[in-house]
Each structure stands twice: as C-alpha cells, then as structure tokens.
Amino acid sequence: MRAQSILIGLVLAGMIAFSGCTTGGQTSPSVYGGLTDAGFRIPPVPIYKVDQKFHRQTVPYATDEEPGTIIVDTGAKFLYYVLGDGQALRYGIGVGKAGFEWHGTAHVARKREWPDWSAPSAMIVRERNRGHIIPAHMDAGLMNPLGARALYLFNEKGDTGYRLHGSPEWWSIGKAVSAGCIRLMNQDIIDLYDRAAIGTKVIVM
C-alpha cells in the first residue's frame, strides 16, 4: 500500500512538472522552448537571460475588474490577464519609448495569427529623417514587427493604432523600446491570444 502511495505521488509530481506551471505559480522555463506554429519555426528564448519577474506566472492581483480583463501596467512593464479570485496571469512586456506612450481603455476588436504589417506613413518619414529606411509593408514571418500574433485595440473612436503583439526580440522585454505598441515574447502572445476573446476589455495604465 505504501509503495502504491509513493507511485501515485510520483505520477502527480510528474503531471505538475509537465503542465507548464509549478505549484508556486511560476511558469516552467520549458514553455519558452522552440516550437513550430503555422509552418513557422519560432526559436527558443534563452529565458535564463530574462529577469525572472518577466516570466509568465500566476500572481496575487486585487482588482474589481471582471475575469478575462487585460490590464497593462506600462510603468512596471507587466501585462495582467485577470483570472478572478484575487489572481492574475502576469506577462513581461516591452512598452512605448518616450513620446510614444498611450494610456486609456479599449477592447480587442480583431485578432490575427501571423499578421502582416504596414508601416504608418508618419513612421516611414520619421525613420527616413533618422537615416533609416523601413519597408512600407511586411508579410507574415519571424521578422515581422507584429510577431506570431496580434490583438488590435479599438475604443469609441475606432482603431487606436495600438496592438498587443509578439516579438522575437526577447531582450526588449522589460524596456521602453517600441513605437507605442505592447510587445510580448512570441510564446507569451500565443498563450494570451488563446485566452483573450474578441471584445476583451483592455486597460492601459
């Protein structure tokens, strides 16, 4: 009987190990491994080089917002997906650099897997003045600025122009580097994309 109890315990421990999360809420580093998605090979993230606080994890989070709400804390560089019961799933993010910040309330109006990307005309001109030539359009792919997934944010005035999206630039997580959009590691945006429905409320602080 004792041997059977030990065996059951080992099986349960193995199930926890392979589920992606530990009992403490910290996501296993294995979720940042390489994967093939829609024919694209997403490379692994050397997650040991990313500050542990920016790893995907379940954390205590007190809010009056409904479960399923997305709350973006641009100052702390965290995105919270509200789970309810005082908890949220927290992701590390990269945010807009000085002069490109955006704050407000919006909702997810569109979702795209491996989206293409068109550069705003103002960005093309701005980068040209800095001596950088950027393409007006990029098809879906590993080097596309929107990465593996994009959630498009709209408010009462329509398209805000801001997105929650993936990025291969894992080293930019936790920094203010973008032209205003909120970026996540590709493995994280895939996870968030699967959780967030059209109409999801998004609060950017």
Structure confidence by residue, pLDDT tens digits, 37-84: 999 999 999 999 999 999 999 999 999 999 999 999 999 999 999 999
Quote the CA–CA distance of 136 and 118 in Å, as a whole number: 6
Contacts of 47 (CB under 8 A, 6+ apart): 29, 32, 55, 170
* 87-91 contact pairs (CB < 8 A, 24+): 87/58, 87/59, 87/60, 87/61, 88/58, 88/59, 88/61, 88/63, 89/56, 89/57, 89/58, 89/59, 89/195, 90/56, 90/57, 90/58, 90/59, 90/61, 91/54, 91/56, 91/184, 91/188, 91/191, 91/192
Quote the CA–CA distance of 2 and 16 in Å, as a whole number: 21
Torsion of CA 149, 195, 56, 11, to 10 degrees: -120
154-192 pLDDT, tens digit per residue, is 999 999 989 999 999 999 999 998 766 899 999 999 999
User: 111-130 in b/e burial notation, b at 16+ Cβ within 10 A?
Assistant: bbebbebebeeeebeeeeee
Binned at pLDDT 50, 70 and 90, residue 3 comes out as: very low
Q: How far is CA 184 from CA 23, 72, 79, 166, in A?
A: 24, 12, 9, 5
| Residue of 21, 107, 132, 181 with catalytic role | 181
Q: Is the pLDDT of residue 94 over 50?
A: yes
15-35 pLDDT, tens digit per residue, is 333 333 333 477 788 999 999
DSSP structure class, residue 27: B
Ordered by where they begin, the domains of the chain are 47-204 (2.40.440.10)
Percent of the chain whose predicted confidence (pLDDT) is above 70: 74
More confident residue, 121 or 76: 76
Q: How far is CA 182 from the centre of its chain?
A: 8
The answer to whether 55 is a known catalytic residue is: no
Quote the CA–CA distance of 13 and 178 in Å, as a whole number: 40
Q: Is the pLDDT of residue 152 over 80?
A: yes
- pLDDT reported for residue 165: 96
**Count of helix runs (H) and strand runs (E) in the chain:** 3, 15
Binned at pLDDT 50, 70 and 90, residue 126 comes out as: low
The answer to whether 165 is a known catalytic residue is: yes
Please answer whether residues 147 and 165 qualify as being in contact, where contact means their C-beta atoms are separated by less than 8 angstroms. yes
